[in-house]
Amino acid sequence: QVQLVQSGAEVRKPGASVKVSCEASGYTFASYDINWVRQAPGQGLEWMGWMSPNSGDKGYAQKFQGRVTFTRNTSISTAYVEVSSLTSDDTAVYYCAKEGRGRNLDFWGQGTLVTVSS
């Protein structure tokens, strides 16, 4: 069965960076794009961007360009998102999601809470 397992909760100070991992299993990792979505406390879903594990091609929502980086390690079927210059507005649960046909997100990780606090 398809599973996306994310790394554990993180606490960072303002101005620092954080890197969250997403390990995929149960399907061919290289064959489907990974999307990243975040959700601030009590708020809705916010799309951050996508990455092709096969080619390394990626796209970022304009809001995150220059401050967010997607990478992957195909040998261990793992995708990563790194967010730099953190502020309290980046406090959120970060989700990775496998993209199915038609740009739907058919399987999601369990989420990683990132807390930014001084």
Partner 1 sequence: QSVLTQPPSVSGAPGQRVTISCTGSSSSIGAGYHVHWYQQLPGAAPKLLIYGNTNRPSGVPDRFSGSRSGTSASLAITGLQAEDEADYYCQSYDSSLSTVVFGGGTKLTVL
**Using CB under 8 A as the criterion, which residues of the chain lie in contact with partner 1 when the complex forms?**
35, 37, 44-47, 50, 59, 61-62, 95, 97, 100-111
Q: Which is nearer to partner 1, 3 or 74 (CB)?
A: 3
Q: Please give the Cα distance from 72 to 43 (Å, whole number).
A: 28
Q: Measured from the CB of residue 59, what is the shortest distance to partner 1 in angstroms? A: 8
Q: Measured from the CB of residue 84, what is the shortest distance to partner 1 in angstroms? A: 21
SS3 content of the chain, % helix, strand, coil (to 5): 15, 50, 35
Q: Which is nearer to partner 1, 38 or 72 (CB)?
A: 38
Q: Which is nearer to partner 1, 15 or 66 (CB)?
A: 66
Contact 86, 16 (CB under 8 A): yes
Taking residue 96's Cβ as centre, other Cβ atoms within 10 Å add up to: 30
Torsion of CA 110, 42, 59, 70, to 10 degrees: -50
Q: Measured from the CB of residue 105, what is the shortest distance to partner 1 in angstroms? A: 6
Torsional class of 56: left (φ above 0), alpha (ψ -120 to 50), beta (otherwise): left
Q: Which is nearer to partner 1, 43 or 74 (CB)?
A: 43
Q: Measured from the CB of residue 116, what is the shortest distance to partner 1 in angstroms? A: 21
